[in-house]
Amino acid sequence: MTEKYTLYGAPLSLYTGKARAYLRFKNIPFEEVLSTVRVYKKIIIPKTGVRFIPVLKTPDNTFIQDTSVIIDTMEQAHPERSVSPSGPKQRLVSQIFEMWGDEWLLIPAMHYRWNHDNFPFIYEEFGQVVTPGFPRFIRRFFGKKVGAQFKGFVPMLGVTPKSIPAIEAWYENTVLPLLDAHFAKHDYLLGSRPCTGDFGLFGPLYAHLYRDPAPGKLMRAQAPNLARWVERMNQEHVELGQWCVQDRIPDTLMPLLSQQFREFWPVQIDSLKITQAWIEANLDNKSLPRALGEHEFTIGNVTEKRVVRSFSQWKLQRVLDAYTNLSDKQKQEVEPMLRELNTLELMQTEIAHRLTLKNNKLVVDRK
């Protein structure tokens, strides 16, 4: 009998949703353990050195924390039912969408969870983690206390009274209709088979924007095809389909890609510049803080400030590497698409000081 993996996470967790859906699609046997306070103290913190979920325990007792690393590791250990397309265009687009889901859709996910009417549902969810098995009123009480800490992170993402109207306009008038139009024609991003980018999107679009009451009602009403994609992504024992033939990128994705490069990528590039400057000023320091001050970003016609996260460089590195590692012939195949999106120069961005994950912590690669 195949040994099972163990996924430590929570139903309300954005990134747990991403990892869970991936393991289900791959038909990898696993059991899920709720990351209660006791589990954090006894397992997660001692085994990973960090306080983040999800965490995947492998049959050989290895503990993996980041979802992108989980997927990379599982793709090597279980190459069947791969989520990485072989075509250079599709592989690159898949990586772009994973980063966009992980980094940018986090903004509406956190906003719609904490600034809309999702209570007492959310408090009960957090209470289940803190006080599992206790009566509902106790779960709500303690859940509210823990939830307040997470709500405090929302302004750090640039979600403020000034930016909220623009965030909602972007999500409701751009993200929802464009994704809904795409999933009206395709089961997944690149055809009838999910790619890494699908799982990157799934995290925020499921755990926060589908599962939470207020944004879930909004999605079902305004983007029913997107809601059905969420439900499809959450299924077990899914039949293996095919990516679009001849490395084709569906036309329905081009408006979303164009919007990403116009609005999201400048934020990533600026975060990269600030992170590189910090490293230059601290050459003797191999580790670096998760937050590196603030910078301005624009969404819609509103400019606001947000915290610069050093982790953003690591996510951007993965996309740039996906392009850099292409052969010359493959780059020629990808180039027309990048020129159409006015992003060939961005994709050729060089990074002087690379980051790497060591023992689940971000450090400067001093090789």
Does residue 345 sit in helix, strand or coil?
helix
Contact 35, 8 (CB under 8 A): yes
Q: State pLDDT tens for residues 34-88.
A: 999 899 999 999 999 999 999 999 999 999 999 999 999 999 999 999 999 999 9
Instruction: Give the pLDDT score at 277.
Output: 96
Contact 228, 183 (CB under 8 A): yes
Instruction: Give the pLDDT score at 218.
Output: 98
Tell me how far apart the alpha carbons of residues 295 and 303 are, in angstroms, rounded to a whole number.
10
200: pLDDT strictly greater than 70: yes
- Confidence category of residue 327, pLDDT binned at 50, 70, 90: very high
Lowest mean pLDDT among 89-93, 111-115, 132-136, 183-187: 132-136
Q: State pLDDT tens for residues 138-148.
A: 888 888 888 88
Instruction: Give the pLDDT score at 128.
Output: 87
Helix (H) or strand (E) holding 264: none
Tell me how far apart the alpha carbons of residues 252 and 189 are, in angstroms, rounded to a whole number.
9
210: pLDDT strictly greater than 50: yes
Contact 146, 131 (CB under 8 A): no
Compute how many other C-beta atoms are within 10 angstroms of the C-beta atom of residue 2: 7
Instruction: Give the pLDDT score at 263.
Output: 94
Q: Is the dihedral of CA 92, 97, 98, 99 positive or negative?
A: positive
The predicted model gives 325-341 an average pLDDT of: 97
Instruction: Give the pLDDT score at 366.
Output: 75
Q: Is the dihedral of CA 211, 236, 15, 162 positive or negative?
A: negative
Instruction: Give the pLDDT score at 132.
Output: 84
367: pLDDT strictly greater than 70: no
The predicted model gives 101-118 an average pLDDT of: 97
The predicted model gives 243-250 an average pLDDT of: 97
Q: Where are the alpha helices (DSSP H) in 236-302?
A: 254-259, 265-281
Q: Give the strand pairing for 5-9 and 30-34.
A: parallel
Instruction: Give the pLDDT score at 1.
Output: 41
Peptide bond into 54 cis (omega under 30): yes
All residues at 6 or more sequence positions from 214 whose CB lies less than 8 Å from its CB, including other chains:
112, 116, 117, 118
Stated pTM of the model: 0.95
Contact 215, 209 (CB under 8 A): yes
Calculate the average pLDDT of the chain.
95
Q: Which domains does the chain have, with CATH numbers?
A: 5-77 (3.40.30.10), 88-120+157-251 (1.20.1050.10), 121-156 (no CATH), 254-364 (no CATH)
Tell me how far apart the alpha carbons of residues 240 and 244 are, in angstroms, rounded to a whole number.
13
Query: What CA–CA distances, in Å, run from 78 to 5, 74, 158, 232, 291?
Result: 12, 6, 39, 22, 35
The predicted model gives 280-300 an average pLDDT of: 91
Does residue 5 sit in helix, strand or coil?
strand
Q: Considering the chain, what percentage of its residues have pLDDT values greater than 70?
A: 99
Q: State pLDDT tens for residues 15-40.
A: 999 999 999 999 999 999 999 989 99
